[in-house]
Structure 1
Amino acid sequence: MTPTLDQVRRAPKVLLHDHLDGGLRPQTILELAADSGHRLPDLGAEPTAESLGRWFAEAADSGSLVRYLETFDHTVGVMQTGPALTRVARECVEDLAADGVVYAEIRYAPEQHVESGLTLEEVVAAVQEGFDEGVAALGGRIVVRQLLTAMRHQARSMEIAELAVAWRDRGVAGFDIAGAEAGYPPTRHLDAFEYLQRENFHFTIHAGEAFGLPSIWQAIQWCGADRLGHGVRIIDDVTVHDDGSVELGRLAAYVRDKRIPLEMCPWSNVQTGAAASIADHPIGLLKKLRFRVTLNTDNRLMSKTSMTHEMWSLVEAFGYGLDDLRWFTINGMKSSFLPFDQRLAIIDDVIKPAYAALLTEAGG
Structure 2
Amino acid sequence: MQDSAPTPLTEEQVRRAPKVLLHDHLDGGLRPQTIVELAAECGHELPVDGGAEELGRWFAESADSGSLERYLETFDHTVGVMQTASALTRVARECVEDLAADGVVYAEIRYAPEQHVEGGLSLDEVVAAVEQGFEEGCAAAGDRIVVRQLLTAMRHQARSMEIAELAVAWRDRGVAGFDIAGAEAGYPPTRHLDAFEYLQRENSHFTIHAGEAFGLPSIWQAIQWCGADRLGHGVRIIDDITVAEDGTIELGRLAAYVRDKRIPLEMCPSSNLQTGAAASMAEHPIGLLKQLRFRVTINTDNRLMSGTSMTQEMALLAETFGYGLRDLEWFTLNAMKSAFLPFDQRLELISSVIKPGYAALAGGVDPLG
Task: Report the counterpart of residue 10 of structure 1 in structure 2.
Answer: 16
> What SS does structure 1 have at the residue aligned with 2:301?
coil
Q: 2:90 aligns with which of 87, 95, 111?
A: 87
Per the alignment, residue 63 of structure 1 pairs with 66
**Equivalence for 1:224:** 227
Alignment match, 2:3: none
CA distance in 2, matches of 1:117, 1:235: 44
Question: Which residue of the other structure, out of 338, 351, 357, is the alignment partner of 1:348?
Answer: 351
Residue by residue, what CA displacement relative to the aligned partner does 1:183-220 show, whole Å, maximum 9, x if unpaired? 00000000000000000000000000000000000000
For residues 248-305 of structure 1, the C-alpha deviation after alignment (integer angstroms, 9 at most, x for no partner) is 0000000000000000000000000000111110000000000000000000000000
Which of 129, 133, 139 does residue 132 from structure 2 map onto?
Answer: 129
Q: CA deviation at 1:4?
A: 1.4
The equivalent residue for 1:35 is 41
Give the superposition deviation at 1:361: 1.7
Structure 2 counterpart SS, 1:176: strand
- In the aligned structure 1, how far is the partner of 2:174 from the partner of 2:275? 31
One-letter amino acid of the structure 1 residue matched with residue 45 of structure 2: R
- Mapped to 1, the partners of 2:122 and 2:235 lie a distance apart of 35
CA distance in 1, matches of 2:71, 2:260: 33
Q: For residues 185-334 of structure 1, what are the structure 2 equivalents within 5 Å?
A: 185-334=188-337
**Could you tell me which amino acid in structure 1 is paired with residue 137 of structure 2?**
G
State how 1:100-139 maps to structure 2 within 5 Å: 100-139=103-142
Counterpart of 2:15, as a letter, is: R
Structure 1 distance, partners of 2:46, 2:184, is 27
User: 1:92 and 1:208 mapped to 2: Cα distance?
Assistant: 27
Q: TM-score, normalising length from structure 2? A: 0.97
Alpha-carbon deviations, 1:150-187, whole Å to 9, x = none?
00000000000000000000000000000000000000
Matches of 2:360 and 2:9, distance apart in 1: 13
| Distance in 1, Cα, partners of 2:62 & 2:9 | 33
Matched, 1:50 2:40: no
In 1, the alpha carbon distance for the partners of 2:34 and 2:327 equals 35
| RMSD after superposition | 0.7
Encode CA deviations 1:17-69: one digit per residue, 9 max, x unaligned: 0000000000000000000000111x3xx421110000000000000000000
Q: Which amino acid aligns with 1:48?
A: G
Displaced runs of 4 or more, over 6 A: none
Q: Which of the residues 19, 25, 32 maps onto 2:25?
A: 19
The CA distance in 1 between the partners of 2:272 and 2:174, in whole Å, is 29
Q: Distance in 2 between matches of 1:101 and 1:136?
A: 15
Q: Give the TM-score taking structure 1 as reference length.
A: 0.98
CA distance in 2, matches of 1:315, 1:226: 27
Note the C-alpha offset of 1:139: 1.4
Q: Which residue pairs with 1:73 in the alignment?
A: 76
Query: Matches of 1:171 and 1:156 in 2, distance apart?
Result: 21
One-letter amino acid matched to 1:13: K
Return the letter of the residue paired with 1:94: E
Counterpart of 1:155, as a letter, is A
Q: Secondary structure at the match of 1:84?
A: helix
Q: Quick one: which amino acid aligns to residue 27 of structure 1?
A: Q
Partner Cα separation in structure 2 for residue 117 and residue 245 of structure 1: 58
Aligned residue pairs: how many? 359
CA distance in 2, matches of 1:276, 1:99: 27
Deviations 1:306-328 (A, max 9, x none): 00000000011000000000000
Identity over aligned residues, as a percent? 84
**1:97 aligns to what?**
100
Superposition map of 1:140-179 within 5 A? 140-179=143-182
Q: What is the Cα deviation at residue 138 of structure 1?
A: 1.3
CA distance, structure 2, for counterparts of residue 148 and residue 347 of structure 1: 25
Secondary structure of 1:144 counterpart? strand
Q: Per the alignment, in what secondary structure is the counterpart of residue 83 of structure 2?
A: coil
CA distance, structure 2, for counterparts of residue 155 and residue 7 of structure 1: 45
- CA drift of 1:360 comes to 1.5
